[in-house]
Chain A
Amino acid sequence: MVVDELDALRDKFEGCAALAFADLSTKMILVTDSGSNLRREALDALCAEAAFLLGANGTPALAEQPSDRASVTSPSQMRVFLRAELEPNDVLCCICNAKLDADAFVADAGACLDRISGSE
């Protein structure tokens, strides 16, 4: 179950506040972790930000080519967006505390996304 994978990732990282699995081709959030209480508008904004930063339409947000991983860090929050290795339209949107161990989190989040994407 996708939600179980998301819950396990959220439980592992104390600084992880919300996780959402999205499809960039339809620009829709498909599943969130069970503890997430984000409103529909917030989920739509998160998905739109993922599509923009990852260059869903083939146009990079910045520089020369679309990325497979993007992040936006403010003093209070880090949002991370990851694209699945084999299915580029499958993305994981993550809202975290800015003090999170970023390297450890993106490694586990990438593995989580690939499991979810591969099991669809």
Chain B
Amino acid sequence: MSEEDALAQKLAALIASVEIDDSGARVISVDGDPAPITAILREVDDTVLERCLAFDCGDTTITVVAAGRRLRGIVNVTPQNDTEIIGQVISREEPDGVQAAFDLLQSLSADADKMTVRSLPPEPFGKGGERGISAKGLTELWGVTMDIIPKPPMDKFLSANAATFLSVLHVREGKVVSTSGDVKPLQQIWKSQVDDFRKAHAKMVRGEERAQFVCLESAFDDGTSAALALYENEIALVAYQGENFGKMQSSWQRIFN
């Protein structure tokens, strides 16, 4: 990674808002951004003093021990899991164990919609001399990168729901930055309706919110629905199937709340 990239990554991390969920845990991955395994390694890389890190994804909790920016091992998993690597310190000298730890973390977290982390006091684990493997070393052994600049919220929302949307027209500062699907109807809306809609609606509600998601069910002649997502200087027009309403709402809430 070049110095410019490293600097850009640090700056992006600094400006990224820290989201805390209802349980008080810090949200580190939403809708696969970043990939949960990447999020885990980043947390390990940020841990200098010995700590237990409890990663929650859905009903699963993975607790690891990290110290000195190294992963020492997986302490336990709930619901109970009998994988042999749990409770063992990982070591470069035992590549099968390193791979088993990766396979376990991936199998438990790869599909998580949301992952959170809590930093807990350390528990006795392994022997004093068993230091585990650095997060950076694990990126090489596991073929995972930590060098990911967080996506802006709108990009995150659009990529997280890409499979749900029938078509998308994404506009930033008045310029179309990406499209997918049949965008003709959306282009028509963008050209002839969006400005008037925003002005009329903002007047009605005494100003436009910084982040706003408007859904209109069955707004197209073919019965599909239309949505307008607004965030700062970005607009996304979307066509979607009505049955995906709740899924989109919870995704919006996770990313913009």
Contact A45 B217 (CB under 8 A): no
| B221 CB contacts on chain A under 8 angstroms | 64-65
Q: Counting CB contacts under 8 A, is B150 at the interface? A: no
- The number of chain A residues with a CB under 8 A from chain B is 30
Within A49-75, which residues are at the interface with B (CB < 8 Å)? 49, 52-53, 60-75
Query: What is the bound-complex CA distance between A102 and B246, given in angstroms?
Result: 5
Within B201-257, which residues are at the interface with A (CB < 8 Å)? 201, 204-206, 209-221, 225-226, 228, 242, 245-247, 249-250, 252-253, 256-257
State the main secondary structure of chain B at its contact with A: mixed
Q: Counting CB contacts under 8 A, is B197 at the interface? A: yes
Q: Counting CB contacts under 8 A, is B180 at the interface? A: no
Top 3 nearest A-B pairs (CB, nearest first) are A103-B246, A63-B219, A102-B249
Cβ contacts A to B, 24 pairs, < 8 Å = A45-B204, A49-B204, A53-B201, A62-B219, A63-B193, A63-B220, A63-B226, A66-B219, A67-B225, A68-B217, A71-B213, A71-B249, A72-B213, A72-B214, A74-B211, A75-B256, A98-B253, A98-B257, A101-B246, A102-B245, A102-B250, A103-B245, A103-B246, A103-B247
Which A positions have Cβ atoms within 8 angstroms of B? 45, 48-49, 52-53, 60-76, 78, 98-99, 101-104, 106
